[in-house]
Amino acid sequence: MKRNIVIATLTAAALATGGTVAAFAAGDDEPTATQRQTDTSAHEAADRDDDAADDRDDDATEDRTAVRSADVTAAEAIAAALKHTPGTALSADLDDDGADAWKVSVVKGDGTEYDVRIAPDSGKVLGAQRDTDDDQDADDRAELAAVKGAKTDAREAALAAAHKGTVTEIGIDDDNGAVAWSAETVKGNSHGEWNVALDTGKVTQDRDDDGDDA
C-alpha cells in the first residue's frame, strides 16, 4: 500500500512539472540500453588497444630476430647501395620476410627508383631491381624534393637514430604536414620509433609511439 502511494506521489509530481516517470519494480537492476551501449563501446576500445599492442609486440619480436643476424648497420647498407646505384636514398628496411637482406630504396637522377638489396652479414650488393610503379603522386614528389634539399640525408639520419638503439628501418614520413625521417629501433627488449629532423638531424620520439625505449 505504501509502495503504491509513493509511486502515485512521484507520478503526480512529475506530471505537475511537465516530466515523465518510468515505472520501476523494487530490486530491478537491469542495465539500460545506454549503459549496455557504453559498456560495449568500452570493451571494443579495449580490444582495439590490445590488438595494437599485440601488433607492436610482434613487430618488436621480428625486428629483434632480424637484428641478431645482421652485422651491417642501416647507415652502412645505405652507403653500399648508393655506391652501387648513385642517387638519393629514400629508405632502408631490414627485410626479415625470408629475403634476409637490407632493402634500400634509391631514386636516380633521372627519376627512376630502384630497390637495392644488401647482404646483412657482409654488406655486399645482392641485386638491384627497378621499381616499375612510376605513378608518383604530389605527396611523393614533395617528399622527394624535401629529401633532396635536406641537410640530413638517410645515412646521416640512420646514424643519428642509432644513438637510441639498433636501427631496423629508416624512411621519409609526413607527420602532420612536417616532413621528417622516421626511424625504428630495437634496444634490448624495447622497440622505439623516432623522428629525425631534415634540417638539424635532431632526434625526437614519435608522438604515436607507446614504446619504452629511451
Res 148: pLDDT: 86
Q: 134: which DSSP letter?
A: -
Q: How far is C-alpha 206 from the geometric centre of its chain's CA atoms?
A: 9
Res 149: pLDDT: 86
Res 165: pLDDT: 95
78-99 residue pLDDT tens? 999 999 999 999 999 987 655 5
Vertex 52: Cα angle to 204 and 96 (nearest 5): 75
The rounded distance, in Å, linking the Cα atoms of 125 and 119 is: 6
Q: 162: which DSSP letter?
A: G
Res 151: pLDDT: 94
Res 31: pLDDT: 57
Is the pTM for the entire model greater than 0.75? no
Residue 141 C-alpha cell reads as 614528389
Q: Contacts from 49-54 at CB under 8 Å and sequence distance 24+? A: 53/210
Res 129: pLDDT: 93
The rounded distance, in Å, linking the Cα atoms of 151 and 169 is: 20
Q: Which of 200, 202, 203 is nearest to 192 (CA)?
A: 203
Low-confidence ranges of the chain (pLDDT < 70): 1-69, 96-99, 134-137, 139, 175-177, 209-214
Hey, which residues does 103 pair with through a beta bridge?
A: 93, 117
Res 46: pLDDT: 57
Res 210: pLDDT: 56
Contact at 8 Å (CB) between 68 and 94? Answer: no
Burial of residue 214 (CB within 10 Å: 0-12, 13-18, 19+) is: exposed
Residue 120 C-alpha cell reads as 646483412
Res 22: pLDDT: 44
